[in-house]
Amino acid sequence: MTRLSDRHIPARVEFVALLAAFALFLSTVEYMIPKPVPFMRIGLANLPLIIGLGILSDREYFLLAVLKVFGQGLVTGTIFSYIILFSLAGTAASTLVMYVFYRFARRFISLLGVSIAGAMASNIAQLQLSRLILFGDAARLIAPPFLAVGLVTSILLGLFAESFVVKSQWYAKQKENRP
Amino acid sequence: MSASQATLLMGILSLPALLLQDNLLGIACQVLYVIFLAIGRGRKFRILPNLILLISVSSAHLLQPNGLHLVSLGGFSVTLGALLLGARKALTLMGLLYLSHFMVSGRPEFPGKLGKLVAMQFYYFEKITTGWRSIQPKRPFIGAIDRLMLLLEDSGSEPASISTKGSLRATTRVLITNAMHVLVLWSLFFAGYLGLLPAFG
Amino acid sequence: MTLSMMRSPWDVWYILLNNFLSIHVKQVLARDFDKRLATCYDAPMRRLKPGDFVILIISVAIILLSMRSFGEFSGKPEVRVRAGGKQWVYDLSVDTRATFDGPVGSTTMEIEGGKVHVHDSDCRNKVCIAAGWISRPGQWIICLPNDVFILIEGSEIQEEGGADDTAF
């Protein structure tokens, strides 16, 4: 983004807000896709976090994660309920794991691996939380299907992200502009 | 204080009343109350998702038997205490959800730098949703997203249009109504806490 | 791609992914959403790296490990209490305290740290309190005057109740 902002917010931060808005948009798209099982999620909203790895600085990346959680909580109206804790735990875990894998193991893994690792981290964190506050020990029973569905959707998302960074002109432009 | 902020404050003051509630009947009354509050703000109430939540959380707790034995299902005992505990947890979650819906229904502005950023995020969110409609064709998907993002960057931002919807001032009536909501939810908590409401199991 | 063209294990991974995953994905997507959306998945196959495979295997292993816990629930020891023609069931691993009413008065049972004992009872001789703590499946405590019977049930029942086992 080359445009100067007049709200005392630097242009780069504004770019993060744009990506966060994109995540919100994707979560509304996901909301409209019919799902056979409740609790099943595709995690479309994680796409900006995956592609953001290549075009954001460290601080911007974690700011994006915070904005994603807050924005989703506000849009879905769940910000003052347990649900925000699940969203927070999942995003925090996946953001950290994806960041570490991308920064330190970029040579050995593509965005597919990053996406899978992020989804597993997120789902394991959420299962632990659901064990603590919602399901008790029975959380261990829903773990296998929950993790399996997450694995499949994260593979799809990872392949899509990998394809996106290759084909997208917008991404190429951002990559050039990256400070 | 704006009207939407008054609602937000009311919710924050009421949250512990739901979280600390130990009595099943008490939490049920509180949930019913906040559901009506949310419906009053245009939130739809659908019975099926809530029923699924109630049943799944209650049945999850059956794995930890606790209390009076009701029936056996294939060597597996259904106990009253486990059912009630599960139902209470599910109701607490439902209550928090609807209270949360009610709290943010007026799109309150959050203070600080993060609040500013969130406002900007919503500004772009609206631009993306309106922009997406004008993008044709929408397939292939990547190309469509590409054009949308490029379009957004070119259009520039108009600071004036960042929402000021929530800045309607809170009248005395709004404040009193909200105070009443807090009072109702807390008295339901104390009714449960002091044993004025019957406890099951 | 035929078998003769294969050069490295990396190609096997490519074929596996392309055949078993991508084709199914494409079919599902083509059926449910849009054919052209499915073509998004064509490009990146060649860009995958060995680490992806490692992460995938570890993830599958985690899922398989998580299935083991299905078995853990069947043989979990439970505390069954019979009093006044009714039955109560508790989880031995969850600390609780419960009071049961009988002909003499009330008997309070306590579960703590995987062990059970009678904490208090209105009966005269207090034999049930003197019985102390029990923790293994098959062990029991009875309070005869107050008609309260506490038994630990589980898959691994052991025949070592105590000396007065034979009396019943």
pLDDT in tens, C111-135: 998 899 999 888 888 888 888 899 8
Q: Which of A130-139, B95-104, C20-29 shows the highest mean pLDDT?
A: B95-104
- Distance (Å, whole) CA A65 – CA A17: 10
- The domain spans of chain B are 1-107+171-201, 111-162
In this prediction, residue C18 has a pLDDT band, given cuts at 50, 70 and 90, of low
Domain with A50 in it: what CATH number?
A: 1.10.1760.20
pLDDT band for position A23 (cuts 50, 70, 90): very high
ipTM: 0.87
Token pair of C89 as six digits: 């069931």
- Percent helix, strand, coil in chain B (nearest 5)? 70, 5, 25
What is the span of the domain harbouring residue C130?
A: 78-163
C53 occurs within a structural domain: yes
Residue A2 lies in a domain: no
When the pLDDT of each residue in chain C is averaged and rounded to a whole number, the result is 73
Chain A neighbors of B97, CB-CB under 8 A: 77-78, 81, 83
Q: Does residue A141 form part of some domain?
A: yes
Q: Is residue A130 part of a domain?
A: yes
What's the mean pLDDT in C76-102? 87
Identify whether residues C51 and C108 lie together within a single domain. no
Residues of A in Cβ contact (< 8 Å) with B117:
9, 13, 16-17, 20, 63, 67
Residues C51 and C118 in one domain: no
Is residue C132 domain-resident? yes
Q: Which tens digits make up the pLDDT trace of B50-66?
A: 898 899 888 888 888 88
DSSP string, C73-112: TTT--EEEEEETTEEEEEETTS-EEEEEE-SSSEEEEEEE
Q: Do A164 and B49 touch (CB under 8 A)?
A: no
| A123 vs C104, more confident | A123
- Which of A159, A163, A165, A166 is the best residue to mutate to test the C interface, defined by the most C CB atoms within 10 Å of its own CB? A159
- Looking at residues A1-18, what average pLDDT do you find? 66
DSSP reduced 3-state for B62: coil
- Chain CA centroid to CA B157, Å: 31
Residue among A74, A170, A173 whose CB faces B118 most closely: A74
Indicate left, alpha or beta for B112 from its phi (over 0: left) and psi (-120 to 50: alpha): left
* Domain final residue, candidates C31, C47, C67: C67
Residues of A in contact with C52 (CB under 8 A): 109-110, 112-113, 116, 158
- Binary contact (B93, A81; C-beta < 8 A): yes
Q: Contacts of residue A155 in chain C, CB cutoff 8 Å?
A: 21, 56
CA distances to A137, B159, C88 from B60, in Å: 8, 49, 19
- For residue C48, pLDDT over 60 is answered with yes
**Domain count across chain A:** 1
Range of the domain at A95: 11-177
- Number of domains making up chain C: 2
Q: pLDDT digit string (tens) for B5-31?
A: 888 899 999 999 999 998 999 999 999
Tell which of C24, C66, C91 to mutate to test the A interface (max A CBs under 10 Å). Answer: C66
* 3 state SS of C131: coil
What distance in Å separates the CA atoms of residue A16 and residue A65, rounded to the nearest whole number? 10
Which candidate from B64, B140, B142 shows the least CB-CB separation from C91?
B64
pLDDT digits (tens, 9 = 90+) for A92-145: 999 999 999 999 998 899 999 999 999 999 999 999 999 998 888 888 888 998
Residue A140 covered by a domain:
yes
Q: Which of C25, C40, C49 sits opposite A109 (nearest CB)?
A: C49
Neighbours of B66 (CB within 10 A): 22
C130 shares its domain with C158: yes
**Model confidence at C136: pLDDT above 60:** yes
Closest alpha carbon to A74 in B94, B117, C125 = B117
Nearest alpha-carbon partner for C93 in C119, C111, C74, C72? C111
Tokens of A58: 């460290």
Q: Is the pLDDT of residue C23 over 80?
A: no
The answer to whether residues C121 and C152 belong to one domain is yes
* C-alpha separations of B72 from A118, B76, C88 in Å: 41, 5, 12
At residue B78, what are phi and psi to the nearest 5 degrees?
-90, 115
